[in-house]
Amino acid sequence: MLRVRVQPRASRPGVAGARAGALLVRVSAPPLEGAANEALLRLLGRELGVAPSAIRILRGAAGREKVLSVRGLTPEAVRARLCSVLGDARA
C-alpha cells in the first residue's frame, strides 16, 4: 500500500517528495468528476513503469489523502522506483 497526498490544479504536475509519511503528487487536473484521480493514476503509472489500470485507489477517492495499491510490484520495488524518481533514498 502506498499513501499519497494529491495536490490538484498544480501548475507543474509530478512527484514532489514526501510529507508526513505520504508521497506528495501534484496533478494539473481539477478535482471534479474524478479527473484528478485519473491524472494521478496516469502520472504514477508512468513514473512506476506500470499501466494506470494496475494502480487502485483503496481509500480516499473523494479526498486528497489516498491509499493506493500497485498490482505487479512489491512494496520494495515501488519504494525503489520512487526513490529513483525523487533522486534520493527517502521515498
CATH of the domain at 28: 3.30.1200.10
Would you say residue 9 lies in a domain?
yes
> What pLDDT, on the 0 to 100 scale, is given for residue 80?
92
Would you say residue 21 lies in a domain?
yes
Where in the sequence is the domain holding 52, given as residue range(s)?
2-85
Strand partners, 25: 6, 15
Would you say residue 23 lies in a domain?
yes
pTM over 0.75? The answer is: yes
- Total tally of structural domains belonging to the chain: 1
Would you say residue 91 lies in a domain?
no
Dump pLDDT digits (tens) for 10-56: 999 999 998 888 999 999 999 999 999 999 999 999 999 999 999 99
Would you say residue 56 lies in a domain?
yes
How far is Cα 76 from Cα 33, in angstroms, rounded to an integer?
32
Would you say residue 41 lies in a domain?
yes
- Given a contact cutoff of 8 angstroms between Cβ atoms, the answer to whether 12 and 76 are in contact is no
Would you say residue 90 lies in a domain?
no
